[in-house]
């Protein structure tokens, strides 16, 4: 690699140097699959030694060349080449239907782990659950502390779902669902009582003669909660997609695809978790007085 820019795509690799394809170096640094990295390059998000790269193939030396993605520098030298190095990884997946939000299924059904093959080899865990037949945003990470803060109801990190339901949801129905309704609780396969849902937010997007489209925002994640709430109001769900988790919005992905969160998205998540922790501590102090 020259100091003035990337090698031209006509350059042949020298077996004695350390050059690799640019998308391979990016994938090894944990920026996503090679295909996703190729797309970032073609969209002009990547520069090598100060020159924006849009056409492939391009050969780079990960130990010497300055590679920047969205203005952020990739680590060079040994930092990039340590496959066992522990770093926090945050991945957004657009989960399709008929996919389990777990790492393994004895019955052989598809899981989110089957869809996310991170080049670092890190074991990534889904943050919370998303129903088998519900599509949308699933976060996966190896940061256990962050995962706990994003899923525990006491931290109050919201999740938003776009629902298409059968029938017309009235204003009275919306008011009742927002205040909270009682849903059965089950343990070990048995109903143990009913617990009231936490306050929710519902926003009607569109009312049609035979269906209603709305957004539902929750701060808890009980089993099939959105479906059960809307069914109790007489409007069974026909399609459900999770669109937000806290400040993170599902975007930039086709169904079944994944990508790493941007640095800005990671920082936004951390701020939301920190704010939730402060609110939790304040609540504890108020209950203690």
**CA atoms of 262 and 284, how far apart (whole Å):** 33
Q: Exactly one of 131, 143, 145, 215 is catalytic; name it.
A: 131
Instruction: For residue 33, give the nearest of 254, 267, 266 by alpha carbon.
Output: 254
Contact 91, 139 (CB under 8 A): yes
Distance from chain centroid for Cα 207: 29
End-to-end Cα distance, the chain: 66
Examine the residue annotation and report whether 172 is marked as an active-site residue of this protein. no
Instruction: For residue 37, give the nearest of 59, 22, 15, 17 by alpha carbon.
Output: 22
Joined tokens for residue 250: 């599902």
If one counts every other C-beta atom within 10 angstroms of the C-beta of residue 97, the result is 14
Active site members: 131
């Amino acid at each position: 690699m020259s100091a003035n820019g990337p090698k031209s795509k006509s350059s042949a690799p020298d077996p004695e140097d350390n050059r690799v394809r640019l998308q391979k170096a990016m994938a090894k640094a944990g920026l996503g699959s090679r295909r996703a990295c190729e797309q970032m390059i073609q969209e002009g998000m990547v520069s090598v030694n100060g020159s924006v790269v849009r056409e492939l193939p391009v050969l780079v030396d990960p130990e010497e060349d300055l590679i920047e993605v969205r203005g952020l520098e990739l680590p060079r030298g040994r930092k990039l080449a340590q496959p066992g190095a522990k770093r926090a990884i945050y991945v957004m997946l657009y989960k399709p239907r008929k996919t389990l939000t777990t790492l393994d299924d004895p019955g052989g059904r598809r899981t989110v782990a089957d869809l996310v093959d991170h080049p670092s080899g890190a074991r990534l865990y889904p943050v919370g659950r998303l129903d088998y037949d519900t599509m949308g945003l699933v976060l996966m990470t190896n940061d256990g502390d962050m995962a706990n803060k994003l899923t525990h109801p006491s931290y109050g990190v919201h999740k938003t779902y776009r629902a298409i339901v059968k029938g017309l949801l009235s204003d009275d129905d919306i008011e009742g669902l927002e205040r909270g309704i009682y849903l059965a609780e089950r343990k070990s396969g048995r109903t143990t009582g009913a617990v009231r849902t936490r306050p929710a937010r519902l926003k009607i997007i569109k009312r049609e003669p035979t269906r209603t489209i709305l957004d539902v925002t929750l701060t808890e994640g009980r089993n099939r909660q959105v479906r059960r709430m809307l069914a109790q109001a007489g409007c069974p769900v026909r399609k459900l997609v999770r669109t937000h988790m806290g400040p993170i919005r599902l975007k930039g992905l086709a169904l079944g695809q994944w990508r790493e969160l941007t640095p800005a998205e990671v920082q936004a998540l951390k701020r939301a978790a920190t704010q939730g922790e402060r609110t939790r501590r304040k609540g504890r102090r108020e209950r203690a007085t």
